[in-house]
Amino acid sequence: MSVENKLGKVLLVGAGPGPVDLMTVRAFRAVESAQALLYDALCSEDAIALAPAGCVRIQTGKRAGKPSMKQDEINRLMLRLARKGLRVVRLKGGDPSIFGRVGEEAAFLNGFGVETEVVPGVTAACAAAAQFGFPLTHRGEARRVVFTTARLEAGKLSGDWSAAADPEATLAVYMGGDVAGDLAQRMIAAGRPAETPAVAVEKAGGADAKLYPATLATLAERVAEAGDGPLLIVVGEVAAQAHAVAEIVEQSRRTA
């Protein structure tokens, strides 16, 4: 008599912006109990090290603009591992529901009868706001937050940037470092004043995070000073509060 293998479960887990102490307890426990761990390039070594001995560990890449495993390959790999009855953890930087393709992966796996569970994580915009002392919403200044990415098509910035004209919206732009100049021009053309406060945050949430205060007019030149770490751009009146924090830090450094 043949025995049918029981399908494993796939957990789509947000690792947060990097530091392990910014992972949720549920995410922490998920990695600790993984039998197979598929992790993105932005996941920290400390987070990966939580996986138990004997866990299959596979780096899936997924770093913008750099060679990485194709999404179809990742989907099929998760399915193969789940069909072996393994508890699979797909570990993603930040929150899986924000530019993490969690919907695509869950739909693919569910289509083959594989159970999935989503474990949320701290996204880079929230980490940056907490770390550098500015809110994403603020009474009288920002009633809305827009999470977006900056994509290049045929060498030009693509997408609808009409939301940039809203003076009460904070824009959190992921993966926008390479197109900061075009981004600023699009937002100014949409009606946002050139003096609108902005910040670029490199490696948000990490101990080595860096803040680059700017305005839309100076955003491109400030971003050019950044390294090659993951970069988040925040535009809106709330960013002025980060400018104040940066000035205090700079004054402390000069007097130290």
Active site residues per annotation: 40, 62
Task: Please list, residue by residue across 76-86, b when 16 or more beta carbons sit within 10 angstroms of its beta carbon and e when fewer do.
Answer: ebbbebbeeeb
What is the distance, to the nearest Å, from the Cα of residue 12 to the centroid of all Cα atoms in its chain? 14
Question: Which residue from 24, 21, 68 is spatially nearest to 42, judged by alpha carbons?
Answer: 68
Question: Which residue from 4, 2, 30 is spatially nearest to 15, judged by alpha carbons?
Answer: 30
* 252 contacts: CB under 8 Å, gap ≥ 6: none
157 forms beta bridges with 152
Q: Can you tell me the distance from the alpha carbon of 254 to that of 118, in angstroms, rounded to the nearest whole number? A: 46
